[in-house]
Structure 1
């Protein structure tokens, strides 16, 4: 089988001013279609217009499904991987630029008037795509295979765009051709039912998979591998959403996921593994050029003079951190060689931070800063303002963390030293690891995940980090015993959480599994007993919140059911436990912006959200 050796790069392609596209064609009548007789003749015409589709899809000021490290340096902290993760149970933040995400997680967000931070109600990209699909066949002198390759790109992006819209809003207007002045009824019509939209999404991605070639066919262009990876994501998302939200008809999408994964598994991709379990996972997220790594199917390209970012700088100077709930999901390898959840482990201890990171899945110390690792020198010792203590919490000098768990997944000191808007390491949009995890989960949901499936999926990922293998009948983690799923599915979901954190997937995973109630739980951080406040290393830099003696840097703690005390990340804030909520009749979908409803009352609103303005059309 021929191995796909190219990688599919989304960079800052030159914006092509070829057509005047209306910024919100569902709200206003569009004008100036690109349909003159002189265009749509040559391959250069198709390529130039398709490049404009790439560009628009990569516009992270509007769209949030292909972000990477964001398309501009400052916005990496506003809607980058850390803030988006704070919508979930993996991460907490009190940085002013990211508290919109804390509000979503706490169930206290307000209906936006325009585009919210987590999504978009912009249709410019869709219009570009539909104009292309309406016109590309006019290049009649080109071989059909050439025309189809560019059409495959357009269909890929239409499928991804609509997946993103359905994930956020459920029913959305389904538009498959460019609208003009004669289409007012469609332009101002109601939303299309979710199942009809997702049928079109599956049709689009299937066609894209058949049109796009498996090998490289042009510099930086999509290929079949990327389309199959998107198909797998679409199939798993919609199949499980339908199952756990009792919508029915889930098998078609779960089987679509399985078929896409099986085809990809025969295309030559492989998990990056050099035999260094304490570093190989990190390499995926700190490599300058992901074109050198065959696990990466599709990625955002950054380079000097083209597009740069600032993810490392913002890894350090934002008040946020991983949650105890997430950290507890990293398995502990006991002295008998068995990997167990912390609740079942014979040897797990969190008496000190050093012990908490001992004998854990190596991905823990490659996701969060462990005491004594190499990143500590960059984070603490190199910083002249930092106190030499771990962890730094509250408002201590030297880039403290909200929870005690400092994120480091994307951090590399060499990039940080480049300065603002100068970092250039790439971001993986689709990895083969996700394909393997999706395959295992879809097979388990279909009741056909046996040891052979685990050995070519989950256990390949565990081999990379030197973790013991998963078997089909693992002991049930007490933490998940009341969730109504098998212990095998618990472990597959755990593996996905650990492997794919900070990759824009966890929030939608919770939504599709109908696990929204997890967002109501108290958000805790690292263990912090009363004696720790008196530790001379802190030299009075932190005080216990809620006491008469609390000084200018209070850190609040909570005594948990295990009798131990943990940082209470959101205590005394708008996102505190007593203010958190999750309404299953409302919060699995986001609110449609009031500005959109005011221009088209037939859009309606998602259940439980205000309808907004009542202006007449």
Structure 2
């Protein structure tokens, strides 16, 4: 622990040297030789310069809490999106449960907390005004951000608010309960909400944290911890919080989101690009400052040397949607597929696009759009294919399931390979759905609640309104294998479905399955399925279809599909993306996670040993040793 503190001090000095970010609002630098406690914290600008460095906490385009991800990848290795091979994290059969010796996430999190505490402590010396309040509010938001990531990963963690020295008595502190950690996070967010201004105001602009994002973040935390207590308590899992039913946190969601609704109304991003698909284009804006309903975003601008390379993720995306996701979409009349009177044919992608919720077609590619290089913004695409390749010897246009992510496609021909599209982190939809879900769990939801939340989102895509009485009258059985709760009301499950569909590929799925206490139910024994195989065989084994779409006659011969060689199927004819792995053949056992361990990560063994040397017990999480 002491060695880590020395390391933190080194980081703090380096941190000040490297302060700054993109666009003019983040370009200030502060000379290291001028930073002392006596001279630095004297103005609001000093706070701004230091808090700017905290924006590095937000995930870059290929990271999500240390994982390789971005929009289009963030639900990777859950039940709704898979890669080109099985995820090792979901193959725990035979795993001993021995905790790792070290964990960079643990160390880096406490490093950030110390830096943020340093700012908050010294901010008391800065004269109070509106500008100073903005940056103090941002600091509290960032501390909440770090602690929430730790809460999700570890549950109980030590809470630090002071700046510790190597000889501080509080250096070795036992883990505070997750209940207390959640309360602490929400208190920080309340301070952030009080002090920060609305998006695009004088001091809360150009990608800065704002009041809207803090309100949604408060709802995210309250819903997460409230539903965790509710469901894990009801199932008496090893992760239950003794004496808590979740109501205290769930009841915090409505006041936060109602304040947001009073400010935002039903204003959502509605510019649809050349295909008039506003929902698709939420994640594809060069300047998200003007995107209504996008509250927090990370700025990218190649002119400021902060570009990215995720512009072509829908063309060459190794993370592919699954049939389980597709099956969960309602039809375009707002009815579950198993009750639909429409000609929904799961064996044909175009039928799904024509008959399902319009968000399906705006999230997943359908061949009726034509070859890729006929879409505005994709004219330079080398392979004019109407379907993604499922033959894994090809990298371009490859999809292991046959379903390709289309949400977030960049239709601007000048921007497609420019790398200046902003990265959306928090948007209005999440807050609206949090309100609906919290009230559904509490059993207090009304039609009025649905009209100001779920139905605002449905209206943007032309989806029929959700009607409470109709939903609760459906003769439908909900399965835990699909992430539902058979013991709950229809409306609770339909809001889960709505959340899955609206927020797909944005990184919420794993967190949701764990807080609902169904993660192991969904994952264990699961063998992913993709699209129906015959449609792909008919296309790629017919050179005339390939040449008609613009592929040369020589190249057209390369894409032939041979069963059991470069593709395979489940018994029902739907693609098996992991067919080369025996665990995922018909006789295989599929995925497995340990139910008594998979919901929280281990506390690193070295930390436990350091605490023990100091005479303090740092307890381990369930299932780990």
Corresponding position of 2:339: 344
> What pairs with 1:88-103 in structure 2 (closer than 5 Å)?
88-94=78-84, 102-103=87-88
1:28 corresponding residue in structure 2 = none
**SS of alignment partner, residue 421 of structure 2:** coil
Separation in 2 of the partners of 1:228 and 1:159? 12
Quick one: structure 1 residues 121 and 169, their matched pair in 2 at CA, closer, same or farther if it must change by over 3 Å? farther
List per-residue Cα deviations over 1:378-430 (Å, max 9, x = no partner): 689967864745242132534220000011212225469764xx411112211
Deviation at 1:353, TM superposition (A): 2.4
CA distance in 2, matches of 1:234, 1:202: 7
In 2, Cα distance between the equivalents of 1:375 and 1:606? 50
2:14 counterpart residue number: none
- Normalising by structure 1, report the TM-score: 0.81
Bigger drift between 396-405 and 531-540 goes to: 531-540
Residue deviations 1:288-327 (CA, integer Å, cap 9, x gap)? 1111222111111111233211112344334331010001
After TM superposition, the structure 1 = structure 2 runs for residues 469-484 of structure 1, keeping only pairs within 5 Å, are: 469-473=465-469, 474=471, 475-480=474-479, 483-484=486-487
Q: Deviations over 1:56-91 (max 9, x none)?
A: x2xxxxxxxx3252489xx99923234431132110
After TM superposition, list the pairs within 5 Å mapping 1:246-395 onto structure 2: 246=233, 247=241, 248-268=244-264, 270-273=267-270, 279-306=277-304, 307-333=306-332, 338-346=333-341, 347-373=343-369, 376-377=372-373, 386=383, 388=385, 390-395=387-392
Aligned to 1:523: 528
1:126, CA displacement in angstroms?
A: 0.8
| Cα distance change of structure 1 residues 387 and 536 upon mapping to structure 2, 3 Å threshold | farther
Partner SS state of residue 469, structure 1: coil
1:54 — aligned with what? 55
Relative distance call for 1:381 and 1:171 in structure 2 (3 A) is closer
After superposition, what is the alpha-carbon deviation per residue over 1:137-169, rounded to whole angstroms, capped at 9, x for unaligned?
112xx2355543322111111111111110111
Q: Aligned residue for 1:179?
A: 164
Report the counterpart of residue 39 of structure 2 in structure 1.
38
Match of 2:150 in 1: 165
Which residue pairs with 1:217 in the alignment?
202
Output the CA distance in 2 between the equivalents of 1:427 and 1:384.
23
Say which of 521, 536, 542 aligns to 1:537.
542
Matches within 5 A, 1:587-598: 587-594=598-605, 596-597=607-608
CA distance in 2, matches of 1:387, 1:396: 17
**TM-score normalised according to structure 2 size:** 0.80
Map of 2:568 onto structure 1: 556
**Structure 2 counterpart of 1:566, from 564, 569, 574:** 574
Moved more, 526-535 or 591-600: 526-535
Specify the alignment match of 1:582 in structure 2.
593
Contact residue 72 and residue 407 of structure 2 kept, 8 A: no
Shift of 1:530: 10
Change (3 A) 1:501 1:144: same
Residue 178 (structure 2) pairs with residue 194 (structure 1): yes
Whether the 8 Å CA contact 1:311–1:411 is kept in 2: the answer is no
> Which residue of structure 1 lines up, in the alignment, with residue 448 of structure 2?
452
1:609 aligns with 2:624: yes
Question: Deviation digits for residues 427-469 of structure 1, max 9, x if unmatched?
Answer: 2211111111111111111211111111111111111111111
Q: 2:15 maps to which residue? A: none
Deviation at 1:512, TM superposition (A): 0.7
State whether residues 315 and 411 of structure 1, in contact with CA within 8 Å, keep that contact through their aligned partners in structure 2.
yes
Partner of 2:548: none
Choose from 101, 118, 134 the match for 1:149.
134
User: Does the 8 Å contact 1:76/1:311 carry over to 2?
Assistant: no
Aligned partners of 1:533 and 1:544 also within 8 Å:
no
Closer/same/farther in 2, CA of residues 211 and 443 from structure 1, 3 Å limit: same
SS at match of 1:126: helix
RMSD of aligned alpha carbons: 3.4
- 1:537 and 1:373 map into 2 onto residues whose CA distance is 19
Distance 2:605 2:466 in 1: 48
Q: 1:174 to 1:236 in 2, by over 3 A?
A: same
46-55 vs 106-115, which moves further: 106-115
Alignment of 1:478-497 (within 5 A): 478-480=477-479, 483-497=486-500
Deviation for aligned residue 1:511: 0.8
Tell me the SS of whatever aligns to 2:468. coil
User: Does the Cα contact within 8 Å between 2:72 and 2:505 map onto a contact in 1?
Assistant: yes
Distance in 1 (alpha carbons) for counterparts of 2:441 and 2:607: 37
Secondary structure class of the residue paired with 1:299: strand
The separation in 1 between residues aligned to 2:486 and 2:88, in whole angstroms, is 25
Deviations 1:225-256 (A, max 9, x none): 22111111111111111101113141221111
Paired positions, count? 553
Q: Which whole-Å CA distance do the structure 2 matches of 1:103 and 1:10 have between them?
A: 35
User: Does 2:70 align with 1:80?
Assistant: yes
Structure 2 vs 1, CA of residues 605 and 482 (structure 1 numbering), >3 Å: closer, same or farther? Answer: closer
SS in 1 for 2:494: helix
Partner residue in 2 for 1:30 = none
* Uncovered stretches (5+) of structure 2, i.e. residues with no partner: 1-19, 234-240, 544-556
Change beyond 3 A, Cα 1:42–1:244: same
Q: Which residue of 2 aligns with 1:238?
A: 225
Cα deviation code 1:2-40 (max 9, x no counterpart): xxxxxxx984745967789xxxxxxxxxxxxx7622221
SS in 2 for 1:507: helix
Q: Distance in 1 between matches of 2:113 and 2:102?
A: 18
Deviating beyond 6 angstroms after TM superposition, the runs of 4 or more aligned structure 1 residues are 17-20
Alignment of 1:492-507 (within 5 A): 492-507=495-510
Shift of 1:41: 1.5
Task: Work out whether residues 278 and 366 of structure 1, in 8 Å CA contact, stay in contact via their aligned partners in 2.
Answer: no
Aligned equivalents of 2:423, 2:323: Cα separation in 1: 26
